[in-house]
Structure 1
Amino acid sequence: MSEQPPGRITGIHTIGVPVTDQDKAIGFYVGTLGFEKRMDMPLPPLGSRWIEVAPAGGAVSIALVQAHDGLPSGGECGVRFTTPDAAALHRELTAAGVDVDELLNWPGVPPMFAFRDQDGNGMEIVQDTAQQ
């Protein structure tokens, strides 16, 4: 294995998701999705807070960034979360009133579905076949 030159990117720490109300976003990501809140600190110069949430034990966190004119909420984020059982999670989120699409079960592809958070930010859940 060769060594990486200094200054190379070696991982992903946080993915920012724009939200209109950071407290409501904490309620959704922590209360509904079951994430843990890892950081919540004021950012006085911006008039908001720096908040990070993540699945328990997850290496990458989601930063619940205050939306603004240059960073609107409500778009497709491109974030894909994994679960050992997509069908069970789909039922759970549907019962909790989350805006979810149908569960897709295509031959040769792991089960998956799209959902939206409290601001309409689109993300996906994909069944992780390695967790089965």
Structure 2
Amino acid sequence: MDMTLEVVILPVSDIDRAVAFYRDQVGFHLDHDTRTEHMHVVQLTPEGSGCSVVVGDLPAQREMAPGSMHGLQLVVADAAAARAELVARGVDASEVRQVAPGDGGTFFGFTDPDGNTWAVQEIAARGRTPLIPLEARGASGS
């Protein structure tokens, strides 16, 4: 049986601030920003990912304390380049460090404005063989 993880709820205290951070600083693609008189829900996806994060004010989202997600993980082909890009966009990222030899043992991290934490792992093979090939991402590359 195939199963895919496609959405992770990310608890935040200020939806607009979270959108600005993840879209403008981290570089996630804004999939949708839906507002009605009863709710506000936003979905953002990292480039090349099949899984998105959702921030909002629906009951399930309000059950988690803002900043309570720790250890979410992104994977990149080049940690040093990814860190440099994030720092250039104003993200306070930790230094890159190797925690184990070989591909997959290099990491850095960052924290969003609410305190949700992210690890960024380098797997160089992703540069050669992305999980979602560019041609499968559509004409825009996202």
Same fold (TM over 0.5): yes
CA distance in 2, matches of 1:83, 1:100: 14
Cα RMSD of the aligned pairs, angstroms, is 2.1
Give the structure 2 partner of residue 123 of structure 1: 118
CA distance in 2, matches of 1:57, 1:87: 18
CA distance in 2, matches of 1:95, 1:57: 20
| 3-state secondary structure, aligned to 2:97 | coil
| 3-state secondary structure, aligned to 2:85 | helix
How far off its partner does 1:16 sit?
0.8
Counterpart amino acid of 1:80?
Answer: Q
Q: Comparing both structures, which one devotes a greater share of its residues to strand?
A: 1
How far off its partner does 1:75 sit?
2.9
Give the structure 2 partner of residue 15 of structure 1: 8
Contact 2:26–2:91 (Cα < 8 Å) also in 1: no
Aligned: 1:32 with 2:17? no
CA distance in 2, matches of 1:39, 1:95: 25
| 3-state secondary structure, aligned to 2:23 | helix
Q: Report the identity percentage.
A: 29
How far off its partner does 1:50 sit?
1.4
Aligned partner (choices 78, 81, 87) of residue 85 of structure 1:
78
Contact 1:80–1:123 (Cα < 8 Å) also in 2: yes
Give the structure 2 partner of residue 42 of structure 1: 35
**TM-score, length-normalised on structure 1?**
0.79
Give the structure 1 partner of residue 46 of structure 2: 55
Give the structure 1 partner of residue 132 of structure 2: none
| Runs of 4 or more above 4 Å deviation | none
CA distance in 2, matches of 1:78, 1:44: 33
CA distance in 2, matches of 1:31, 1:18: 18
Superposed CA deviations along residues 39-62 of structure 1, whole A, max 9, x for unmatched, are 2112544xx411110023421101
CA distance in 2, matches of 1:11, 1:123: 20
Count how many residue pairs are aligned between Structure 1 and Structure 2: 122
CA distance in 2, matches of 1:56, 1:114: 18
Larger Rg: 1
